[in-house]
Chain A
Amino acid sequence: MWWKALLFIIMTAAIVAAFVTEAPQQQIGEASRIFYFHIPQAWISVLAFAMSMIYSIGYLRKRDILTDGRAADTAAIGLLVCILAAATGSIFAKVTWGSFWNWDPRESSIFLLLLIYGAYFALRGAVQDENRRATLSAVYSIFAFLTVPFLVFVLPRMVPSLHPSDSVVDENMKFVMGAEVWRILLTSLVGFSVLYLWMFNISGRIRKLSRARFEEI
């Protein structure tokens, strides 16, 4: 219970600090505050997908239907957060560069992630048999994850990017954000991560309970 109170404090601190302190990037000004929320959301959407892949591997190894259920749950949370990340990024793009979408490599990778999530749930919806659905969506989740490193790490290096984060990194690949900016970002990141884990944990418990109830009947 104590950690829920701590989470509340961390998130409140991050949100307040995001608005009260100086804007992180001077050239862009006030709009850059969205970066405190956009970056954690983008991070969580990739993390959630990685977790889905891990649980998918777990399902293929042990064939426990509950593991597959948890893979679907983390994908659901990831889909929600991915939509948020794309929306906040899009708002930022409109304010800074004048248009909502530009096919910048990082924008493309969020779009790709959104499509993968959508495809994953489309596949789950199309298969009736429980075990087959679990196997097929597990395979797809793992296979789709193989494309993510290409889009997240390889493409941005190949193509000039609009993203300011790439101008925040100097030749030595070290972050040149100020210490305060870094602290607020880290707080927000931790807050979002704990929130995600909490949501995932609750969904796992619901699933276990409903499964137990289902088996009773």
Chain B
Amino acid sequence: MPSSNANLVTRSLAILAKDIRLELRSRHALNAILLFAVSTLSVVSFSVGQSGLGPHVLAALYWVVIFFSAIAGLSHSFVREEETGTGLLLRLKADPDPVYLGKFFFNLMLLMFIAAVVTPLFFAFTDATLEQPAPFLTITCLGILGLCASTTIVAAIIARAASRGALFAVLSFPLLIPVLLVLVRASQKVLDGQSWGEIASEIQFLVAFPVVMIVGSILLFKFVWRE
């Protein structure tokens, strides 16, 4: 049981800081996810980058890169706890809510970092044009929020199961389909030159989805953490 009087924010930040520090020491998740993203992007750019594929295909390819990078890297925060044996101590010491929030923000920062690397490279290496930066960036940020919202609790679920890597992908994919469909559609419209008006309903979806997923995760996380 927690022994300090710190509130939720302080405790979550403590867990976030711990995870960042650990990650910067060994850089396992960062390397895996960055390598994956850049390799995939290179293949895309090499094969079809300059072929004049329309915004429809390019938007889909962009989200393929981000999505698979997420699947490659977002389970690390929980799996590492189990692999290094620190999971038990964390379960004894910390409450479920700060753990969930800390790890969620860790995943969010990881994926934002990857997007920050991939997005400029994507526009540099393919012939996609960014006429509307503000809508595109908003969609990307909301999409990443949605991806992290769904996958953090799944990472917690699979961390103590067998065949973790494959299982993470299998469990996450159904949960991410709705948000992926909407993201690709919205990105297609924006890369095509359309602006805020046409993507209003997609933006509503992309705001509602992470909210529902995060609330559900917070309510359910304690069962996963403490069983």
Contacts and interface: CB of A to CB of B under 8 A. Distances in A.
A108 interface: yes
A127 B224 CA distance: 13
A135 B224 contact: yes
A147 B175 contact: yes
A119 B170 contact: yes
A122 B154 CA distance: 13
Contacts of A143: 153-154, 175, 213, 216-217, 220
Contacts of B134: none
Contact of B174 (A115, A132, A135): A115
Given A108-B177, A119-B171, A126-B167, A158 B205 contact: yes
A82 B167 CA distance: 22
Contacts of B157: 123, 136, 139-140
Which secondary structure characterizes the binding site on chain A?
A: helix
B47 interface: no
A131 B161 contact: no
A62 B226 CA distance: 15
A126 B173 CA distance: 17
A184 B165 CA distance: 47
Q: How large is the interface on A (under 10, 10 to 19, 20 to 34, 35 or more residues)?
A: 20 to 34
Interface residues on B, range: 20 to 34
B209 interface: yes
A136 B217 contact: no
Given A132-B227, A139-B224, A158-B205, A150 B178 contact: yes
Interface string B34-61: 0000000000000000000000000000
A149 to B, nearest CB: 9
A138 interface: yes
A131 B178 CA distance: 31
A110 B95 CA distance: 37
Nearest to A148: B178
Contact of A158 (B161, B174, B202, B224): B202
Contacts of A108: 177, 181
A10 interface: no
B80 interface: no
B117 to A, nearest CB: 29
Contacts of B174: 112, 115-116, 118-119, 144, 147
B116 interface: no
A155 interface: yes
B212 interface: yes
A136 B161 CA distance: 9
B175 A131 contact: no
Contacts of A150: 178, 205, 208-209, 212
B220 A139 contact: yes
A126 B205 contact: no
Interface centre among B163, B173, B175 (most CB of A within 10 A): B175
A107 to B, nearest CB: 12
B171 A140 contact: yes
Contact of A115 (B154, B160, B177, B217): B177
Interface in B57-99: none
Interface string A16-47: 00000000000000000000000000000000
B161 to A, nearest CB: 4
Interface string A83-122: 0000000000000000000000000100110011011001
Nearest 10 pairs between A and B by C-beta?
A115-B174, A135-B227, A126-B161, A116-B174, A150-B178, A146-B216, A126-B162, A119-B171, A151-B178, A139-B220
